[in-house]
Amino acid sequence: MRTAARQVRSKHGPDFHDKYGSLILLGGALLCASIWSYVVTQTGIEWNLFPVGRITPKEWREE
């Protein structure tokens, strides 16, 4: 004799991550982007992104 197992579906509402997960993710991304934009534009860090032409190699010496 075969017995079929019924799937019990829970009737509870959405949990915290279903309700607020996307909102928290977008808020964190916005916070991260705003902090990095402040760091890049306001702190005066010299990033040296393209050093070609600024660095000259030293003369090679054979000993």
Q: What is the pTM of this model?
A: 0.53
pLDDT tens-place string over residues 33-62: 999 999 989 988 877 777 676 777 778 887
pLDDT tens-place string over residues 3-41: 666 666 666 778 888 999 999 999 999 999 999 999 989
For 36, 43, 58, the CA distances from 17, given in Å and listed in that order, are 27, 36, 58
Which residue carries 């964190």 as its tokens?
A: 28
Contacts of residue 62, Cβ cutoff 8 Å, sequence gap at least 6: none
- The predicted pLDDT at position 60 comes to 83
- The predicted pLDDT at position 6 comes to 63
- The predicted pLDDT at position 5 comes to 64
